Amino acid sequence: MTQEDILEIFQQKGALLSGHFLLTSGLHSSKYLQCALVLQYPDVAEVIGKQLAAKFAGEKIGVVAAPALGGVIVAHEVARALSCRAIFTERQDGRMTLRRGFSINPGERVLVVEDVVTTGGSTLETIDAITAAGGTVIGAGSIINRSGADPDIGVPYHALVTISVPTYKPDECPLCKQGEPAIKPGSRGSRQ
């Protein structure tokens, strides 16, 4: 599948939203990619997982890890394609950590994936949690990179789709200045 094919799937599934959105990064945007609306279809999720796994062909990966909640299905499908385990990190007391009995063997090679990257913040937090647990992060990937440029995360990074969607700091947001309320449709909140 090409980048255009994947964006067409997002369009067909109603997963490319327009409005005024508060992103996980704290930035505002007029566009939002709701990957859950695409990943709810197992056949599509499987194909996307295979596509992302192919970006890391030849790497010896023992575990695929993702930040919860958005990256959980992505990690599962990429791990299925790579024939390895899938785990996820969660925030506890404001910090990304491994929970639910998940562990990393010392030096185990880990690929970090997620659904959408804007600043790379959640990916970095997950990399830090995996490294603290003794893992060796060999790369990171996402379905969508909405920043238009690869994030500076210290490991090789690949996205299936790279697009440039403008984001704004809240005090510079033209939508806020117009009085339009921001919606937080992601995994950490609802209407603001």
**What DSSP letter does each residue of 15-76 carry, written as one string?**
-EEEEEEE-TTS-EEEEEE-THHHHTSHHHHHHHHHHHHHTTTT---SEEEEETTTTHHHHH
Q: Is the dihedral of CA 9, 79, 71, 169 positive or negative?
A: negative
Query: How does pLDDT run across 56-73, given as a tens digit for each residue?
Result: 999 999 999 999 999 999
Q: Give the span between the Cα atoms of 72 and 36, in whole angstroms.
A: 10
Q: Token match 């970006």: residue?
A: 55
| Cα dihedral 5, 8, 10, 13 sign | negative
| CATH fold label, 3-177 | Rossmann fold (3.40.50)
The domain limits of the chain are 3-177
pLDDT in tens, 68-107: 999 999 999 999 999 999 999 999 998 999 999 999 999 9
The string of pLDDT tens digits covering residues 13-55 is: 999 988 999 988 889 999 899 999 999 999 999 999 999 999 9
Reading the block at residue 78, the tokens are 């990429």
Give the percent of the chain with pLDDT over 70: 96
Establish how many alpha carbons lie within 13 A of residue 61's alpha carbon, considering only the half-sphere containing its beta carbon: 29
